[in-house]
């Protein structure tokens, strides 16, 4: 049953309190439970309507019925003699079931305070599941960007914390830890391909939060990101059982995607001992595709000893390939290398590293 739209709420409340509640509580042991269910549905309808002033109206209705129920459920020794055992038992049973309505009144009053005093809006059903601390977490989570956080702290978060006599430092520490843990759990369970928002979230946490758990998050994210690269290349990360498997996969990724992706895979899957091999392989690809300018720049950006190894590989490769099909610049390098002595070769390597 819903409240008629054209009937003043005050009249309905008075009728319920005067005529319905006293009779119901004396004959039905489940009266309070039934009235509670009805009240909850009425409040939900009021909230869903979004009408201005629905909260004060709901508080008045629920509180009035609560007072009527408390009065109607009272009984004494005289009641046992005058009303009979069944009536007294019904009243006692109903009296023991009043707590949900007490809780509903408290929740409505808290909801009204959050809306009016702290300008924080939350559905009633959500509020009833929240603790004081988790409400602060919700307030913090709604701040869209870090630059707006100071204003939100001043206007909403800190005033609420102080009004509830909560420990601000402890709450903020718990919030940070919960956010990192939630991100860790997300990274652990997210499926491939990785959604873009996950990458943005992890980057945001790792760049803005300092917490011991961030080391674990960084490690898990490195592995997850590498697994995503592998997945995009058509491989199953679980099939990479040995370092050689990882290297073979990384070579394919260097060919199919980028060398930086291949390097991420080697690092994440504990195959960093092959980091020089993957760079040499990248040089081989550039030679095969006649990307001499790119190769020179690629070598200059390497660590010196690694670059020397790669240079030696390029020279060896050039000696065993015909000039035909190579760009003129690479052909000149090949011919020049064939005519130089070992010392001149070292000098050329040094020149390339300048």
Residue 351, pLDDT above cutoff 60: no
- Structural domain of residue 278, as residue ranges? 233-289
pTM for the predicted model, two decimal places: 0.60
Is there a domain that residue 340 lies in? yes
- Amino acid 107: pLDDT: 92
Axis crossing angle, helix 275-288 with helix 304-319, rounded to the nearest 10: 40
Q: Looking at the structure, tell me whether residues 238 and 340 fall in a common domain.
A: no
For residues 26 and 69, what is the distance between their CA atoms, to the nearest angstrom?
11
Is there a domain that residue 200 lies in? no
Q: Looking at the structure, tell me whether residues 117 and 15 fall in a common domain.
A: yes
pLDDT in tens, 281-325: 888 777 777 676 777 777 777 777 777 777 777 766 655 554 344
For residues 185 and 183, what is the distance between their CA atoms, to the nearest angstrom?
5
- Amino acid 113: pLDDT: 92
For residues 153 and 151, what is the distance between their CA atoms, to the nearest angstrom?
5
pLDDT in tens, 63-93: 888 888 777 766 654 554 444 455 556 666 6
pLDDT in tens, 94-123: 566 778 888 999 999 999 999 989 989 999
Q: Looking at the structure, tell me whether residues 110 and 82 fall in a common domain.
A: yes
135 alpha carbon, distance to own chain's centre: 17
pLDDT in tens, 161-194: 999 898 988 888 888 888 888 888 888 888 888 8
For residues 69 and 65, what is the distance between their CA atoms, to the nearest angstrom?
6
Q: Looking at the structure, tell me whether residues 241 and 348 fall in a common domain.
A: no
**Residue where one domain finishes, among candidates 75, 106, 129:** 129
CB of 136 closer than 8 Å to CB of 161: yes
Q: Which residue is associated with the tokens 């006692």?
A: 92
Residue 266, pLDDT above cutoff 60: yes
Q: Looking at the structure, tell me whether residues 54 and 93 fall in a common domain.
A: yes
Q: Looking at the structure, tell me whether residues 347 and 305 fall in a common domain.
A: yes
Is there a domain that residue 306 lies in? yes
Q: Looking at the structure, tell me whether residues 53 and 99 fall in a common domain.
A: yes
Number of compact structural domains in the chain: 3
Q: Looking at the structure, tell me whether residues 296 and 332 fall in a common domain.
A: yes
**Residue where one domain finishes, among candidates 89, 113, 129:** 129
**Residue where one domain finishes, among candidates 108, 129, 150:** 129
Torsion of Cα atoms, 48 then 54 then 60 then 65, to 10°: -20
């Amino acid at each position: 049953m819903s409240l008629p739209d054209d009937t003043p709420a005050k009249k309905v409340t008075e009728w319920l309190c005067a005529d319905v509640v006293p009779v119901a509580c004396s004959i039905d042991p489940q009266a309070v439970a039934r009235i509670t269910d009805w009240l909850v549905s009425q409040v939900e309808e009021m909230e869903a309507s979004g009408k201005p002033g629905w909260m004060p109206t709901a508080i008045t209705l629920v509180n009035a019925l609560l007072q009527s129920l408390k009065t109607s459920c009272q009984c004494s020794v005289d009641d046992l003699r005058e009303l009979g055992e069944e009536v007294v038992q019904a009243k006692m049973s109903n009296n023991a079931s009043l707590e949900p309505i007490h809780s509903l009144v408290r929740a409505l009053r808290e909801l009204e305070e959050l809306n009016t005093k702290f300008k924080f809006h939350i559905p009633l059903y959500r509020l009833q599941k929240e603790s004081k601390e988790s409400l602060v977490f919700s307030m913090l989570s709604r701040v869209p960007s870090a630059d707006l956080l100071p204003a939100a702290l001043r206007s909403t978060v800190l005033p609420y914390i102080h009004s509830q006599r909560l420990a601000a430092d402890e709450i903020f520490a718990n919030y940070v830890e919960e956010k990192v843990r939630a991100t860790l759990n997300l990274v652990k369970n997210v499926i491939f391909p990785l959604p873009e928002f996950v990458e943005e979230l992890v980057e945001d946490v790792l760049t803005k939060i300092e917490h011991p758990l961030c080391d674990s998050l960084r490690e898990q994210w490195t592995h997850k990101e590498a697994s995503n690269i592998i997945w995009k290349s058509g491989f199953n990360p679980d099939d990479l059982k040995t370092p050689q498997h990882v290297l073979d996969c990384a070579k394919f990724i260097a060919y199919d995607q980028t060398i930086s992706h291949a390097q991420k895979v080697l690092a994440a899957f504990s195959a960093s001992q092959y980091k020089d091999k993957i760079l040499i392989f990248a040089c081989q690809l550039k030679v095969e595709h006649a990307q001499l300018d790119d190769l020179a720049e690629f070598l200059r950006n390497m660590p010196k000893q690694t670059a020397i190894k790669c240079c030696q590989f390029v020279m060896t490769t050039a000696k065993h390939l015909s000039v035909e099909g190579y760009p003129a610049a690479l052909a000149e390098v090949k011919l020049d290398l064939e005519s130089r002595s070992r010392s001149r070769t070292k000098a050329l390597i040094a020149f390339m590293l300048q």
